[in-house]
Amino acid sequence: MVRRFVRLGPVLIYVSRSGVTGIRAEVTSLELDALISDHSVAERAIRNKIERRVMESLLSSRKEVVVMADGSLKHPFGQFSGSLPSPRARNNCLIGFSKSSNLILSEGAVGSLSRARGAVYHVLDEGPVITLLAKFCTDGLVFRLDLVNSKEEVREMLGRVLWNDAFPAGYPESLKLAHHLSVFTKADGEAIKALVTGRFRLRGVPTITLRRIALGGFNGGA
């Protein structure tokens, strides 16, 4: 059960031809062009950089911590697609939970784990990042996990996760709470827009939906 939490943000990031402000980020000219030209790419890149900074800060602790991230640690668009943060203390570990079914590589293993009673896991790939399938309760779903900590046994890491969290539908309650707290409501979005507009003396520009203009409406008939 989650007893307390810390909510960070909102963090204001500004991307222009001059670079990225609001967070320390070294980007090449090609990367900057991609950020400016594609809004979704900019969102993903900024989110990944901020998440990585938070993870690195938590993993640098000399206290015993389990850091859980939403997403695969091996995915090319994930926040750790480059070098992975290294846990400093012996028992610190980083675990990525993936809800995407297309990242699960073994349907046979999923079927076996789904039928098992209780918490079970199956290792898919060894290495610096261990990839496995796991189910944390009898009626829970099967998720893909990526684990980073070569100094601790897999069963010990999973046991610590199972001991310290609740698992409605087999998914950690802490990650579920983090997801809901990180989503902006419409009111939050309008408040942030008003803050940015007033602070930086900006003028709102109405958005143009090219798809709607190009396709228009269709009432049928030939």
170: helix, strand or coil: helix
Note whether residue 215 is domain-resident: no
Note whether residue 211 is domain-resident: no
pLDDT of 82 = 47
Domain interval for residue 106: 14-193
Note whether residue 113 is domain-resident: yes
Note whether residue 146 is domain-resident: yes
Mean pLDDT of 50-61: 85
- d(C-alpha 86, C-alpha 211), whole Å: 44
- Nearest alpha carbon to residue 68 among 142, 179, 180, 184: 179
Long-range contacts of range 202-209, CB-CB < 8 Å, 24 or more positions apart? none
Note whether residue 160 is domain-resident: yes
Note whether residue 67 is domain-resident: yes
Residue 222, Cβ neighbours under 10 Å: how many? 2
CA distances from 11 to 14, 23, 47 (A): 10, 9, 10
Mean pLDDT of 68-93: 65
pLDDT of 173 = 92
CA distances from 112 to 99, 115, 125 (A): 18, 5, 17
pLDDT tens digits, residue range 98-122? 877 665 667 788 889 999 999 999 9
pLDDT of 43 = 86
> What amino acid is encoded at 30 in this protein?
L
Instruction: Name residue, tokens 């990031």.
Output: 13
Q: Percentage of residues in the chain with pLDDT exceeding 90?
A: 23
Is the pLDDT confidence value at 13 over 50?
Answer: yes
Does this model's pTM top 0.85? My answer is no
Note whether residue 208 is domain-resident: no
Count structural domains, the chain: 1
* CA end-to-end span of the chain: 60
Instruction: Name residue, tokens 């297309």.
Output: 102
pLDDT of 49 = 84
- d(C-alpha 160, C-alpha 21), whole Å: 38
Note whether residue 36 is domain-resident: yes
26: helix, strand or coil: coil
pLDDT tens digits, residue range 157-201? 999 999 999 998 889 999 998 888 888 888 988 888 888 888 888
Instruction: Return phi, psi of residue 140, to 5°.
Output: -85, 165
